[in-house]
Amino acid sequence: MPFSLDDLPIRDDLRGLSPYGAPQKHVAVQLNVNENTHPIPEDVARDIVESIAQAVLTVNRYPDREFTPLREALARYLGHGLTADNIWAANGSNEVIQQLMQAFGGPGRSVLGFPPTYSMHSIIAAGSGTTWVEGQRDAGFEISPETAVAEIRRTQPDIVFFCGPNNPTGTPLDLETVVAAYEATDGIVFVDEAYAEFMPSDRPTALTLLEGRERLVVSRTMSKAFAFAGARVGYLAAHPAVADALRLVRLPYHLSSLTQAAAVAALAHADEMLAMVDEIKTQRDRIVHELTEMGYEPWPTWSNFVLFGGVDDPAAVFEALLDRGVIVRNLGIPNHLRVSAGTEAETTAFLDALRDIRLSS
């Protein structure tokens, strides 16, 4: 028998696990991982490249360990009276979450999450030796304040995780739920706002709750609204003491000088970069409308994707779409698939393919 992973002395709690990852298939229309499929505007791309070129001239030196210009730029972008002291960043929001778990979780500690939710939350918990505890959601994938408090009292977690808007359902998160959860625990309350820019513009985010709540943490990413998935830049806002805690566990110089330069340049063009968000929301709402007309059951969504039910055989529909050059996401939720809102052309290709499948079945 050839030597394999099972023959290595890995941790017992990692045995039998599979790595996270959506299928990476190169087809014409890729709508499976909630990317922003719009290309970065050419003038913005040019500025980013010029900034990276300048950074390359000093790449023989270690980067700014405190990535101060980036934290300042992120604080300006978020507003709400935040300063660089309130900001922390890392290589994608997954690394932010990992550092949070390393600082506040670990063996003998637990984190409460509310599935279905972003699957990396539980995977990162396992990787850090933190016990993942599942809470129950209400009807429609919502979490009421009463439900959140009841689950906290039942499980007594050290960390509480929310995802709002929720992935993979797109469900909004009631800020009253966050407040109730914070008051019900002495631990960290974490709100993953990866899709916040796709919320209705008149709705407040959890950033508005930070003042006076030193244990509340709100994370964001540049992967979605900023079309920066390949750059890997995630960040959080919290009391400065939280950033101090993460300094204890981060690797030295964890953000390269090239990453910092690219992110600062992109943030200087925030208005232009975010102009595509309205178009994505338009295509998202179009998907909801046309799926409903086809007889499917899309869930209300404040994100850049749509989870829809009424799919008799998700695996078969997934494959049929793939045969037509369109990839979506089969998450294993019975009778459901999820699709990202792409460009107008990509959205049309998906809807036409699904309509064709439905007519031929």
Q: Is 29 helix (H, G, I), strand (E, B) or coil?
A: strand
Whether residue 169 has pLDDT greater than 80:
yes
Whether residue 226 has pLDDT greater than 70:
yes
At 22, is the pLDDT very low, low, confident or very high (cuts 50, 70, 90)?
A: low
Mean pLDDT for all residues in the chain: 96
Question: E strand or H helix at 190, and its extent?
Answer: strand 188-192
What fold characterizes domain 21-39+272-360?
Aspartate Aminotransferase, domain 1 (3.90.1150)
* Mean pLDDT for the stretch of residues 35-56: 95
Residue 251 makes CB contacts below 8 A (sequence gap 6+) with none
The pLDDT score that the predictor gives to residue 288 is: 98
Here the tokens at position 317 are 């529909």
State the helix-helix crossing angle for 175-184 and 145-155, rounded to 10 degrees: 30
Whether residue 361 has pLDDT greater than 80:
no
CB 34 within 8 A of CB 284: no
Domain spans of the chain? 21-39+272-360, 42-268
Q: Is 237 helix (H, G, I), strand (E, B) or coil?
A: strand
Beta-sheet pairing, 159-163 with 131-134 = unpaired
Nearest to 174 by CA among 152, 191, 153, 155: 191
The pLDDT score that the predictor gives to residue 17 is: 79
The pLDDT score that the predictor gives to residue 135 is: 98
The pLDDT score that the predictor gives to residue 15 is: 85
* Mean pLDDT for the stretch of residues 24-31: 88
At 54, is the pLDDT very low, low, confident or very high (cuts 50, 70, 90)?
A: very high
* Mean pLDDT for the stretch of residues 225-254: 96
The pLDDT score that the predictor gives to residue 14 is: 84
At 90, is the pLDDT very low, low, confident or very high (cuts 50, 70, 90)?
A: very high
At 19, is the pLDDT very low, low, confident or very high (cuts 50, 70, 90)?
A: confident
The pLDDT score that the predictor gives to residue 262 is: 97
Whether residue 1 has pLDDT greater than 80:
no
Interval 177-216: pLDDT, tens: 999 999 999 999 999 999 999 999 999 999 999 999 999 9
What fold characterizes domain 42-268?
Aspartate Aminotransferase; domain 2 (3.40.640)
Give dist(CA 308, CA 297) in Å, integer: 5
Whether residue 6 has pLDDT greater than 90:
no
Among 21-30, 295-304, 320-329, which stretch is predicted with the lowest mean pLDDT?
Answer: 21-30
* Mean pLDDT for the stretch of residues 274-299: 96
Question: In the chain, what are the helix, strand and coil shares in percent, each to the nearest 5?
Answer: 45, 15, 40
Whether residue 235 has pLDDT greater than 90:
yes
CB 174 within 8 A of CB 145: yes
Angle at 165 between CA 159 and CA 166, to 5 degrees: 65
With a pLDDT cut of 70, the percent of the chain lying above it is 99
How many other C-beta atoms are found inside a 10 Å radius of the C-beta of residue 39? Answer: 11
